[in-house]
Amino acid sequence: MITLIRIELFKIFRKPRTYIAFGAVASIIWLIQLGFWADGESYINFGMAALSETFDVQGRVLNGYLLAYIILQTLLVHVPLLIALVSGDMISGEANMGTLRLLASRPVSRTQIILSKFLASSVYTLALLVWMAVWTLFFSLFIFGADDMIIMKSEVVTQISAADAAWRYVAAFGFAALAMVTVSALAFLLSIFAENSIGPIMATMSIIILFTILNSLNLPIYQDIKPYLFTTHMLGWKGFFDVAVNASNEQIPGSVENLPAVMRSAGMLLLHVILFLGASLYVFRRKDILS
């Protein structure tokens, strides 16, 4: 099994399209950092105008932690496409190249083929997240420095001390990794049904867009299904930036306001991964390979 995973990883990382995602992530992050480096102060001042009228805000509001938050919010919406680019190609790409029949006629079981490919695509997903984390957090902190982090939501302003921010990012990236593995598992499942990678990539994105739209529609008819859509839980990483307060309304460092909700979302994502992977195994083990 280890040999198979290594073979799959070798194939993934020798394929030029794999590096499109790494290049795209680095480019987008670099462009955002450049933009904020050039015009960030005025942008932040504009955003803080109302707040500054009431409060005396001191220190570096535009710092590495805040920028990392902004980048994460922007990027995690688009990363699924980059994930689908590789995961949606895992089986369909082999079918398209005509190599699937070679793989499936080797003395390895179809279960091993699926598991090794899925694990390899998950490693790719995690590698992309680590790459994103390094560019987002490390370089943002390097360029803009570290300070307390101020997050403005519709009715709430949260201030997180610099010392309390780093672990939240680790947790947020860990959660995001699970969300992206879910997308990867969906794209992987869809790739079993196709003989070229365009279909699974488009289908994955269409499902994500459709579910995201359903999430944003506050219509009673859709309320009941929302908790079961994996897209509902994909943004659960934001929960790590909601800090619990004590009876005196003071923040409790190292706390999460609604940790059970975050864990529930993680559980739902994990359940989806298991469902998608289980379906992949079921379909592929019975599939006639005609490509």
Partner 1 sequence: MSSSLDIAPLLEVSGLTKTYGSFKAVDDLSFSVFPGDVFGFLGQNGAGKSTTIRMLLTLIRPNAGQIRVFGMDLQQHRREVLSRVGAVIEKPDLYGYLTGQENLSLFARMSGKGITKARIQETLELVGLQKRAGDRVKTYSQGMKQRLGIACALVHDPDLIILDEPTNGLDPQGIADIRNLVLSLSREQGKTFLISSHLLAEIELMANRMLIIDRGRKIVEGSVRELVDPQDRELQVETLDDAHALECISHTPWAGQLMHDRLPQVVLSMSHAEIPALVDALVGQGVRILALRPVNRLEAYFLSLTHA
| Beta carbon nearer to partner 1, 105 or 218 | 105
Residues in contact with partner 1, shown as a per-residue x/- string from 227 to 266 under the rule CB under 8 A: ----------------------------------------
Does 23 bind partner 1 (CB under 8 A)? Our answer is no
Minimum distance from residue 196 beta carbon to partner 1 (Å) = 13
Q: Which listed residue (55, 101, 134, 278) binds partner 1 by CB under 8 A?
A: 101
Rounded CA gap, 169 and 25, in Å? Answer: 17
Residues in contact with partner 1, shown as a per-residue x/- string from 49 to 88 under the rule CB under 8 A: ----------------------------------------
Rounded CA gap, 144 and 165, in Å? Answer: 15
Residues 6+ apart with CB under 8 A from 74: 28, 32
Rounded CA gap, 273 and 268, in Å? Answer: 9
| Beta carbon nearer to partner 1, 75 or 113 | 113
For tokens 């993934």, name the residue: 12
Residues 6+ apart with CB under 8 A from 258: 239, 242
Which residues on neighbouring strands pair with residue 152, listed in sequence order?
Answer: 157
Does 98 bind partner 1 (CB under 8 A)? Our answer is yes
Does 13 bind partner 1 (CB under 8 A)? Our answer is no
Rounded CA gap, 164 and 147, in Å? Answer: 10
Tokens of 248: 């005196």
Q: Which listed residue (31, 102, 166, 252) binds partner 1 by CB under 8 A?
A: 102
CB 175 within 8 A of CB 166: no
Tokens of 7: 């073979």
Does 11 bind partner 1 (CB under 8 A)? Our answer is yes
Does 105 bind partner 1 (CB under 8 A)? Our answer is yes
| Beta carbon nearer to partner 1, 38 or 102 | 102
Query: By the criterion CB under 8 A, which residues form the site for partner 1?
Result: 3-4, 7, 10-11, 14-16, 97-99, 101-109, 286, 288-290
